[in-house]
Amino acid sequence: NREYLWGVNTQYSTDVIDPTSQVVADSATWNWVIYKSHFTVGDVVTISYANPLQIGQDTFTFSTKAMAYSKNTAKDEVKLINVFPNPYYGYQYREGSRDQHYVTFSHLPQNAVIRIFDLSGVLVRTITHRSSTPNSQFDTWNLQNDSGYPVASGIYIVYIDMPDLGTTKILKLALIQEQQILKVY
């Protein structure tokens, strides 16, 4: 979850500026991206910078909309559910070490059950996604089966059941595992 804020060098106005407008393209001075934010109505965000343009005169005000949940909108957004990287080529830049391989599922609703099958139809892994925070849309798979062993290279079918929405989603995932190097001979 991320929020985008633009500092626009224009005359002050309370009118909302469309972020895709030419005004932003021509006048954007700063672009802030705030990750994993959980702003609610009434929150105050203060941005301090070391080199103000006009000391004591610059004032910035931001407001947020109240969070709203719509089951119909959530059903419409099921098409956005995805897995990345896909295909997985033995490594991705987000991994912290050689022993921490994973892929990430995105745009998940708060309650989902992810079942991963190999092409022969064998259930490889079950992941229960129950978000404890309302804005968490991500979950990961560590490329291991339910017994904790690394899975083989191949094509996997991901079946995502969303009981609260009464719908499902099917994804295909290609894994190409890195060469296995024994740590003990």
pLDDT level of residue 15 (50, 70, 90 thresholds): confident
Residue 54 host element (H or E): none
Q: Please give the sequence-ordered ranges of beta strands (E in DSSP) within 27-185, or none if there are none.
A: 28-35, 82-84, 88-89, 103-106, 111-118, 123-130, 139-141, 154-162, 167-176
CA distance 28 to 46: 19
The per-residue pLDDT for 133 is 54
Q: Residue 14 pLDDT > 70, yes or no?
A: yes
Q: From edge to edge, which strands make up the β-sheet containing 88-89?
A: 88-89, 167-176, 154-162, 111-118, 123-130
Please provide the average confidence, as pLDDT, over all residues in the chain: 79
Region 76-84: mean pLDDT is 88
Region 65-73: mean pLDDT is 74
The per-residue pLDDT for 91 is 67
Q: Which residues contact 55 (CB under 8 A, 6 or more apart)?
A: none
CA distance 111 to 108: 8
pLDDT level of residue 50 (50, 70, 90 thresholds): low
Q: Which residue has the higher pLDDT, 60 or 2?
A: 60
User: pTM of the entire structure?
Assistant: 0.60
